[in-house]
A and B are shown apart, each in its own frame.
Chain A
Amino acid sequence: MARSNAITYASRRSNHAESSTAGARRAVQAESDRDRTDSEGGSASEDDQAEFQSRPTQGTAQTGTQAGAAESHQSRAAANMKAGMGSTAYERLVSETINMALYATQRRQAIKKDDINKKILSKKTAIWPAVLADAQLRLREVFGMELVELRSAGQGDPTLRETVDTNETQVQGKGKKRANDADDAAEAPAKKKAASGSKSWILRSTLPPELIAAMNMPNEIVSRGEDEENHPAIRDCGALLHWDKGDGIAGGGVALKGILFTLLALILVRDRSISDSRFMKELEEKLNLHSETILPFAAKDSPIRSIKFSEFLALLVRQNYLQKVKIQGVVGDVGAGHETQYEWRWGSRADAEIGEKAVSEFMLDIAEDDDAATNEQLDAAQRKKEKQEKALERKRLKSAIESAAGSALQDVTPT
């Protein structure tokens, strides 16, 4: 059961946020649907170029309604720049951005604004809002994916903004938790939006979560050649999404995804951050995981067959699923001033790609005892009662998780 859970949840690259952004996304999709119908008559790329040119930058560019005045000014400037550019040259910027994003996603990396400036925009950095908006349209319409900006490493703490790209972030004192950030955000949304951008983006799916779950169900496909000797059978895991095929170094397969979810869960219920020493102790005592533990690296296409737990943790930090934060001079902690201390938190990719809600669902599914559901002996009424009890229990567990986390659980980062 744990395995199938891991499979289902491992893949939540999805946006199941039912926030205003979802509505905005639907609107954008509806618009591109319309454009598509318009251009369906001819398949020549001329049509598409025209469509590309005429699409309004504003409105579609902003996913929220609370786009600040500064931003709308920026997008006006971008729109003007776009209008002043040849359509081919402009289209090139968009396609290069998309290509960069697709390349990065293969390696589980984020694309960074600095790189985009350097490699794609060069002197035309002001055109970025328009390019980003058009790249989003293309990504959603064609690929069923979107770019989501990662929160910055120490979001909410103004002293941390420059340290976005480093994996180990220095924190003065006990760093603020994200729950607090959410409160800040509620008070001053516009200010937060301007302050929190990490200027790096990852790709995630915009397909419905049920569809994504279905796309991750493995069921091996064997394609036999004429004879096994000269044309050996080709075996495919059979899941529609098979990122490990392309990125053997990065994924590590389903089993490791299950461990990632467990790690995220452990951090979540410890008030969203846990000291390094305590984390390691719990992992060793409860899960028998220590830094030298060899984990199976299930990706068939990877040259690596196994990976040490410590290496796996380092990989997760590199990929931004986890964050190991340096704490210095913890106030009130006697004797802690001289020793460097670390604590573990969720990385920004975990927020953008997985979300706290999905991790709590994962915990609930693991905790749930599903023997009764399959018990044939029960009659309909008993079964109904069983179901109600289960729903209640789930609710109870959920609020327990929430109180352990310190505040309401957050869904994936909205775009």
Chain B
Amino acid sequence: MAPYGDLHRVMLQTLMSRRAVEQETANELYRRAYLAVKGREFGSASVSKELQQLLQDLQNKIIRLDLDIRRFPEQNDTKRHWICLVNKRPLADANELSKAVSDLSPLEISYYREIVLQVVDSYPANSIGSKQALQTASGLDTPIPKTNAEALLRALVSRGWLAKSSRGRYSLGIRAIAELSDWLRETYGDPAEGDSILNSCSFKASKSIECKDLVLTGWKCEQPDCGAHIHHFCKSRMIKAKKSTCGACGQPFDPQAEGGIEMSPIGEDAVSEADDNRVVASKRGKKRRSEAANGNGHGSEEPEASVGEEDSEDGDEVARQGEERGRASRRLASQVPVSQVEGSEADDSQEYESE
């Protein structure tokens, strides 16, 4: 192991200034850092291996400073990974959001928070249409004009706080997943809420290799009393590893097989494209938001999933329907670095274990 030195410090500052870097980009940045520090080109060795080692060194140094380095796959992309520098301590309440999203103004933060909460409420779509995102801006206490809201949304996507799909729907971006998962779980992870965006992935290859990240897009097992969620890429990984069964109930994925399960899509595939232009507002969402504003965590008595009320402005029909209730959402305790689940992907497996 190379001693901790300027190459480490340069890469840490590189990460700090961006907070989230895509893996291929990070590899190239590592080459440049190497050249800048050592005065010679990086040799023939594997960049991602060297970078992985360096990130592990960094993690060992910063972990007790309540910072961590984690690697996440993009939820809708099986290939791309992101390296994120995250705060380990979860936010205490919604007002602390500004701590994580340090780069936004208070108004921008309140807008962002509204969008996050609407995305949370949109389960199983886990995303909102762009029309709804813009209407949210005009509905704020201090309304944000449309063109400004569009610019802000672009910046939020560019910085990884939101993700925008080719359908034009907004969902949680990589930095939101990295930095806000714990806070969302703390705040909205009440088991009485039933199915929600807060479902963690059921992928499990062994005792130590599992994925417990939020499933923003993927599949839900429709086996009665199961309801486990799994990422697209985690399902592919299981199939590749010749384990084509639900990680929770053990029934085969193939619906044709004996005891095979039906799976329903999670993410924007759960709603038709016609929904993309609808504006949804739910009572539940409003209630939650007021609770959050009062710093009042999660409510204990929730009304049943209300069919949302129309947003009068456009007279759009309410789209939220058929929300399934009742099943206790499995609340998962501590997060495990995503890297731990990479075991089966030989070429880019990473373990940023701290100890």
Contact = CB atoms under 8 A, between A and B. Distances in A.
A95 B66 contact: yes
B104 interface: yes
Residue of A205, A223, A231 most packed against chain B (CB within 10 A): A223
Interface stretch (B16-24, B116-124, B215-223, B271-279): B16-24
Interface in A39-58: 40, 43-45, 48-49
A144 B24 CA distance: 25
Interface in A131-186: 138, 141-145
Interface string B1-36: 101101001101110111101101100110011001
A384 interface: no
A59 interface: no
Contacts of A49: 64
A98 interface: yes
Interface string B328-354: 000000000000000000000000001
A303 B137 CA distance: 14
Interface string B21-60: 1101100110011001100000000000000000000001
B103 A231 contact: no
Given A144-B6, A207-B6, A248-B159, A215 B13 contact: yes
B151 A305 contact: yes
B14 A240 contact: yes
Contacts, number: 144
A36 B3 CA distance: 9
A226 B76 CA distance: 12
Interface string A292-332: 00000000111111000000000000000000000000000
A43 to B, nearest CB: 5
Residue of B25, B65, B108 most packed against chain A (CB within 10 A): B65
A303 B32 CA distance: 29
Contacts of B12: 142-144
A343 interface: no
A43 B60 contact: yes
Contact of B87 (A36, A99, A211, A240): A99
Interface in B139-168: 148, 151-152, 154-155, 158-159, 165-166
B36 A236 contact: no
Interface residues of B, number: 53
A102 B158 CA distance: 22
B313 to A, nearest CB: 23
B154 A240 contact: no
Nearest to B164: A232
Interface in B58-75: 60-67
A60 B76 CA distance: 50
Given A207-B9, A223-B25, A245-B19, A48 B102 contact: no
Contact of B155 (A145, A230, A231, A301): A301
B80 A231 contact: yes
A248 B29 contact: no
A241 B152 contact: no
A303 B155 contact: yes
A221 B60 CA distance: 28
Contacts of A207: 6, 9-10, 13
B32 A246 contact: no
B99 interface: yes
Given A45-B64, A301-B159, A236 B25 contact: yes
Contacts of A271: none
Contacts of B152: 303
A249 B104 contact: yes
Interface string B266-297: 00000000000000000000000000000000
Contact of A245 (B4, B17, B63, B165): B17
A225 interface: yes
A394 interface: no
B9 A144 contact: yes
B258 interface: no
Interface of A: 36-37, 40, 43-45, 48-49, 91, 95-96, 98-99, 102-103, 106-107, 138, 141-145, 205, 207, 211, 214-215, 219, 221, 223, 225-226, 229-231, 234, 236, 238, 240-243, 245-250, 300-305
Interface of B: 1, 3-4, 6, 9-10, 12-14, 16-19, 21-22, 24-25, 28-29, 32-33, 36-37, 60-67, 76-77, 79-80, 87, 99, 102-105, 108, 148, 151-152, 154-155, 158-159, 165-166, 354-355
Given A230-B77, A248-B159, 18 more contacts: A45-B63, A91-B64, A98-B65, A142-B62, A142-B65, A205-B13, A223-B25, A230-B76, A231-B77, A238-B29, A238-B32, A240-B36, A245-B19, A247-B103, A248-B155, A300-B158, A303-B148, A304-B151
27 contacts: A37-B3, A43-B60, A43-B355, A45-B63, A45-B354, A96-B66, A102-B16, A106-B103, A142-B4, A142-B61, A211-B10, A211-B37, A215-B10, A215-B36, A221-B29, A223-B25, A230-B165, A238-B28, A240-B33, A245-B159, A246-B17, A246-B19, A247-B103, A248-B103, A248-B159, A303-B108, A303-B151
